[in-house]
Structure 1
Amino acid sequence: MALRFATDVSTASTDYGTVLLDQRSGQYWELNPTATLIIEALLAGQDEAAATDAVVAEFDIDRERAQNDVTQLVAELRASGLAA
């Protein structure tokens, strides 16, 4: 499923990954390069399987671990109210 950030969430790219700012709470989230690749794929309309494929190709990790990373990141972003 594609991902979209809440309207009160701002993003900024950094040399290390991506920073998210929840303007409602003032909290910052720093995403590492793996998480950045995942959200870029999902924000572009790809599904979680495609995001998993991108992680496997980019970081040479096994598919099960990549899929767990994708699932966990999406769940945390949604649980925090940052994404829908």
Structure 2
Amino acid sequence: MSFSLADGVSIAQTGSGAVLLDERSGRYWQLNSSGARVLEKLLAGESVGEAGAAAASGTRVAPEKAAGDAAALLERLQAAGLVSR
């Protein structure tokens, strides 16, 4: 399943993650480094499980927890209209 940023949404990498700008509303959304990595992987066409595993790589987070966290982030980004299929 492939995801993309919604029209009018831009992303900028920061030293601690990334910031999404919804140009339609003027709202900013800040992602920590794990969230930014999940979003990067999803935008590159990886699955939610793969994106979660990539974000958890090198940490003590269990793969199942990482996949659940990635799914929750994706759900919030979709609900906010920032990411679409």
- TM normalised by structure 2 equals 0.91
Contact 2:34/2:56 (<8 A) preserved: no
4+ residue runs over 2 A deviation: none
- Number of residue equivalences: 84
How far is the alpha carbon of 1:67 from its aligned partner? 1.3
* Equivalent residue, structure 1, for 2:75: 75
Residue 62 of structure 1 is matched in structure 2 by: 62
Gaps of 5+ in 1: none
Native 8 Å contact 1:55 1:66 kept in 2: yes
Structure with more strand by fraction: 2
Q: Residue type matched to 1:44 in 2?
A: A
Q: State the identity as a percent.
A: 39
Q: Which amino acid is the alignment partner of residue 80 of structure 1?
A: A
TM-score for the superposition, normalised by structure 1: 0.92
- Matched ranges for 1:6-21 at <5 A: 6-21=6-21
